[in-house]
Amino acid sequence: MSCVIGQFTPVFEPAREGQFFLDLTGTDRLFGGALKVTEALQARFVKELRLIAEAGLAANKLVSRVAAIEAAPDRLLSVEWGGEEIYLAPKRPALLPAADRAVRERLRELNVVNVGQIRQIELDILVAGFGPPGYLLARQARGIDPDPVVSPLTAPSIVVADDLSEDTNDITLLEAALRLLLIEATIKLRKSGNGAGEMNFKANYSDGLQIVNSIRTRSPSADFDFWSQETAILLRKSITRRVRVKRLELRFTRLGPSAPQQSLWDRSTDRKNETQRNGVAILTALEKIRTKFGEGALNWGMTPKRKAA
C-alpha cells in the first residue's frame, strides 16, 4: 500500500495494520486537491491491489480517523475545516483515542453517551475524575489534535543502546543494563521537554536474530518508574532463548508534552508527587556523575537473595 500512497504524497504515517495517515497539504497544484487525491487513491487500491478502502478527510488526524471509521466501504467521508466539534458531538466516546476501557466505563457510570456531553464538562472536573487523560478528553472532544503526520523515517525519536561488553542471557544482568539505558533515556526526554507515547525494545542475539517488541501509552510520559515497569515486561517477553544477547536498544517515539500532574485533595497524592520529584533529582544527579566521569562510572547493583533459614 505504501508504494501506491507514495505516488501522491511523500508524508504518510502508518497507524496500524492497513491504516495510514496522509498529509495532503500542497497537492492542489499537482493532483487537484485533497479530495481528488483521496478518490484517486481509493481507485488505485481497487485496480492495483484489489483492496477496498474507506477514507476520512479532515483537518487533523483525530477527526480523519473517526471519519474513516464511520465511512461506508469504498466510500469517502469528508469533514470541512472548522466543523470538527459539530461533527464529533453526536459520536460515541469510544471513538476518541483517549477513551480506553477504564475511561469508557467511568463515562458510562456518569451517563455520558456522546462526545458533545464530554465537551460540556469543565476541565477541572474532567481532570479530577479521570486524572491526566482528562486533559486529552477535553481536547479531543473539541476535535483538537496538534499531532502532525510524520513519516517513520523522519519521526523525532530518542534512542539509547548498549553493546554489551560480554554477550549474556543472564536476565539479572540484562535487567541491570536496561535500567541504565532507561535512566539515560528518561533524562533525555525531560531535557527535551517531552514525554514518549511509544517505546520500542530491541534485542540482538549473538547468532544474528533480532527481537523487537513495542508498547504504546495513552499519553506521553517521561516517568522513569512507569517505563521501568514496561521495559521489565518487554524484556521478559523478548528474552526467551538460550542464545546470548549482545545488544539492547530502546527507541522512544511519538514524542509530545507530558500531561501535567495535579495534586488534588488527599495527602497520598502529595506524597506521590514528592516521591516523583525526589526520583527526578536522583536520576539527574546520576546523569551528572556519568557525564563528568564517563559512562562506566556507575553500574546498577543487585542485592543478593538471602537463603532461607
Is there a domain that residue 103 lies in?
A: yes
Is there a domain that residue 146 lies in?
A: no
Q: Identify whether residues 13 and 73 lie together within a single domain.
A: yes
For 153, the grid coordinates are: 523515517
pLDDT one-digit tens code per residue, 210-245: 888 888 887 888 888 889 998 998 898 888 888 899
Residues in the chain: 309
Is there a domain that residue 305 lies in?
A: no
Percent of the chain past pLDDT 70, that is, above it, reads: 81
Query: What is the C-alpha R_g of the chain?
Result: 23
Q: Identify whether residues 48 and 128 lie together within a single domain.
A: no
Task: State the pLDDT at residue 50.
Answer: 85
Angle at which helices 224-238 and 267-293 cross, to 10°: 70
Q: Identify whether residues 124 and 178 lie together within a single domain.
A: no
Q: Identify whether residues 125 and 25 lie together within a single domain.
A: no
Task: State the pLDDT at residue 261.
Answer: 47
Is there a domain that residue 309 lies in?
A: no
Q: Identify whether residues 186 and 288 lie together within a single domain.
A: yes
Please state, rounded to an integer, the average pLDDT across all residues of the chain: 82
Task: State the pLDDT at residue 112.
Answer: 94
Q: Identify whether residues 41 and 132 lie together within a single domain.
A: no
CATH number at residue 252: 3.30.1490.100
Q: Identify whether residues 112 and 58 lie together within a single domain.
A: no
Boundary (domain end) residue, out of 78, 106, 124: 78
Q: Identify whether residues 164 and 243 lie together within a single domain.
A: yes
Q: Identify whether residues 130 and 208 lie together within a single domain.
A: no
Rounded Cα distance, 252 and 155, in Å: 10
Percent of the chain past pLDDT 90, that is, above it, reads: 28
For 306, the grid coordinates are: 538471602
Is there a domain that residue 147 lies in?
A: no
Q: What is the mean pLDDT of residues 204-210?
A: 83
CATH number at residue 101: 1.10.150
* Nearest Cα residue to 159 out of 229, 34, 252, 84: 252
Is there a domain that residue 84 lies in?
A: no
Is there a domain that residue 101 lies in?
A: yes
Rounded Cα distance, 297 and 299, in Å: 7
Is there a domain that residue 280 lies in?
A: yes
Q: Which residue has the cell 503526520?
A: 149
pLDDT-based confidence at residue 255 (cuts at 50, 70, 90): confident
Q: Identify whether residues 292 and 193 lie together within a single domain.
A: yes
Task: State the pLDDT at residue 272.
Answer: 46
> What is the widest separation between alpha-carbon atoms in the chain?
80
Task: State the pLDDT at residue 98.
Answer: 85
| 22 conformational bin, left if phi > 0, alpha if psi -120 to 50, beta if neither | beta
Q: Return the higher-pLDDT residue of 191 and 105.
A: 105
Q: Which residues pair with residue 78 across a beta bridge?
A: 57
Domain count, the chain: 3
Boundary (domain end) residue, out of 34, 54, 78: 78
* Cα dihedral across residues 9, 11, 14, 15: positive or negative: negative
Q: Identify whether residues 18 and 130 lie together within a single domain.
A: no
Structural domain of 53: 2-78
Boundary (domain end) residue, out of 78, 100, 117: 78
Task: State the pLDDT at residue 30.
Answer: 77
Name the DSSP class of 57.
Answer: E
Q: Identify whether residues 29 and 108 lie together within a single domain.
A: no
For 78, the grid coordinates are: 469528508
Task: State the pLDDT at residue 154.
Answer: 63
